[in-house]
Structure 1
Amino acid sequence: MLTDWINESNINIIEHADNWQSAVALAVQPLIDVGAVEARYLQAIYDMHREIGPYYVLGEGIAMPHARPEEGVIRTALSLVIVQNGVEFYSEDNDPVYIIFALAAIDSNSHIEMIASLSHLFCDDAVVQKLRGCQSKEDVLQAISQY
């Protein structure tokens, strides 16, 4: 379940982000804070974005920034940022982004259940809309509790 990974300590709800970099940094910071990734993990996401574009914008209004395990992942972890006014990631069909799940995966397999839960959530337009409107961490946890 996503609530095994997401809790009040790794949820942020903000009204505005200056740019995609600050939104990604806010999403990755809880992973750094708990020792799930090294600080260089954030730079790896920035570097890959510059190389190939916003590869982690998965659908309309949804992003899941991540980098390769060897880029500083210590253990599998997840965090969530909701940007109420949205932020441009320069993903032509999917901007603005409102929901940002930062993912750190130690290998190719250990996070499969987490990804499956996230994909079910992403396919549920009602829950995605509900997440966008969440005003509190408790609202977020309730919205994702079925996944």
Structure 2
Amino acid sequence: MLTKLIKASYIQLDIEASSFEEAIELAMSPLVIDEAVTTDYVDKVISILREIGPYIVITKNIAIPHAPSDSGAKKLAIGFTRLKNAIVSGNSANDPVKFLFSLSSPTGDDHLSALSELASLFSDEKFLAFIQDVKKPHDFIDFLENFERSIEND
């Protein structure tokens, strides 16, 4: 399913950010450009972050920027951003953040299987090593396609 939600244009490698908020804005920008989310959606992610803290940092080095569906999510999409330099988010258990998987989900339920697949990847040491060094967006997509095929064959 992930390969249906991610496009090469949603994948950004070695992006420079000076703050966690800027990293979120940069990670969400391909989804804004493709009209998967509105700028209001990005603003809501940051607003919630300021209000309740780094809720989107879900495991060591990884954040999933997202907001409620009614905040401007237009289509189901996932992006990937690798920061050039890891950045502190304020989540002491999982800092610093190096990888952001931006998420847009226009309904509350349609992202659950995508999140399930992502969770499987986050516990896969090969994937975690791969995202450290991936060179091209198409290599990232190829990895996901192989991962999905392996799930189907299990």
TM-score (norm 2): 0.88
Which AA in structure 2 matches 1:19? S
The Cα of 1:48 is off from its aligned counterpart by: 0.3
Q: Helix, strand or coil for the counterpart of 1:9? A: helix
The structure that is helix-richer by fraction is 2
Which AA in structure 1 matches 2:139? D
Structure 1 window deviating more from structure 2 (69-78 vs 135-144): it is 135-144
* Number of corresponding residues: 147
Which AA in structure 2 matches 1:54? P
Partner of 1:61: 61
Partner of 1:22: 22
**Superposition pairs of residues 1-147 of structure 1, within 5 angstroms:** 1-145=1-145, 146-147=147-148
Q: Helix, strand or coil for the counterpart of 1:83? A: strand
| Structure 2 alignment gaps of length 5 or more | 149-154
Q: Deviations over 1:59-112 (max 9, x none)?
A: 001000100011111222111101132121111011111110111111221112
The Cα of 1:138 is off from its aligned counterpart by: 2.7
Cα separation, 1, equivalents of 2:129 and 2:97: 12
TM-score (norm 1): 0.92
Q: Helix, strand or coil for the counterpart of 1:22? A: helix
Q: Helix, strand or coil for the counterpart of 1:98? A: strand
Which AA in structure 1 matches 2:28? V
Contact 2:54–2:90, Cα closer than 8 Å, also in 1: yes
Structure 1 window deviating more from structure 2 (126-135 vs 51-60): it is 126-135
The Cα of 1:15 is off from its aligned counterpart by: 4.8
| Structure 1 alignment gaps of length 5 or more | none
Root mean square deviation of aligned Cα: 1.4
Structure 1 window deviating more from structure 2 (121-130 vs 58-67): it is 121-130
**Identity between Structure 1 and Structure 2 (%):** 29
Contact 1:60–1:93, Cα closer than 8 Å, also in 2: yes
